[in-house]
Amino acid sequence: MRRLLPTLLLTSLAACGGGDPAQTGYDALGSGDYATAASSFREALGGAEGAQKTDLTLQLSQALAHTDAQACVAQMTQLDAATDLRVQDYNVVVSELKSAGAYTAATDVLELARGAYPGDEKLTDLIQAVGNAAASAGDTDAMARLKGLGYVGDD
């Protein structure tokens, strides 16, 4: 029993610190701690490959939408060039940028999405939603760029 206690103590301490950075990132993202999420996802990306790397980069982009919108756009630009993203991947990141009030950055990602999926109805709806939010916020620069993507205003 005496030998078992130190082992249990070490196991418990290892579980508390030095855990899986990806899981820490997911937890932090879910709780709105975007800075911790971004840091954790960056750490987790160190050994990631393939689909896992794409997923972690998308998660990182969601966190960056709230802490560094331009870095978010840079991550999405790299992903767009290197992988085949789904419409919903763009949608999630644009929605995060919209909720963070980063309408110009959201427009940048929408341009990437429109290039990958021209004429997609979900993107058309998202362009309208971002445009309406930008209009409510008085972001005329984002609205002008969104008109180039087909934004027609809130009828």
The per-residue DSSP string of 60-129 comes to HHHHHHHH-HHHHHHHHHHHHHHS---HHHHHHHHHHHHHTT-HHHHHHHHHHHHHHSTT-HHHHHHHHH
Q: Provide the domain limits for residue 104.
A: 85-155
Give the tens place of pLDDT for each residue, 48-90.
999 999 999 999 999 999 999 999 999 999 999 998 999 999 9
Residue 136 neighbours by CB distance under 10 Å: 10
Predicted structure pTM score: 0.85
Instruction: Judge if 63 and 118 occupy the same domain.
Output: no
pLDDT of residue 9: 35
Instruction: Judge if 100 and 140 occupy the same domain.
Output: yes
Residue 155 has pLDDT above 70, yes or no: no
Residue 15 has pLDDT above 80, yes or no: no
Looking at the domain assignment, is residue 148 inside a domain?
A: yes
Average pLDDT on 14-19 reads: 55
Which one, of 90, 102, 155, 86, lies nearest residue 126 by Cα? 90
Instruction: Judge if 24 and 61 occupy the same domain.
Output: yes
pLDDT of residue 10: 36
Instruction: Judge if 114 and 152 occupy the same domain.
Output: yes
Instruction: Judge if 53 and 102 occupy the same domain.
Output: no
Looking at the domain assignment, is residue 14 inside a domain?
A: no
Instruction: Judge if 99 and 54 occupy the same domain.
Output: no
Looking at the domain assignment, is residue 6 inside a domain?
A: no
Between 119 and 131, the higher pLDDT residue: 131
Which residue among 67, 94, 125 closes a domain?
A: 67
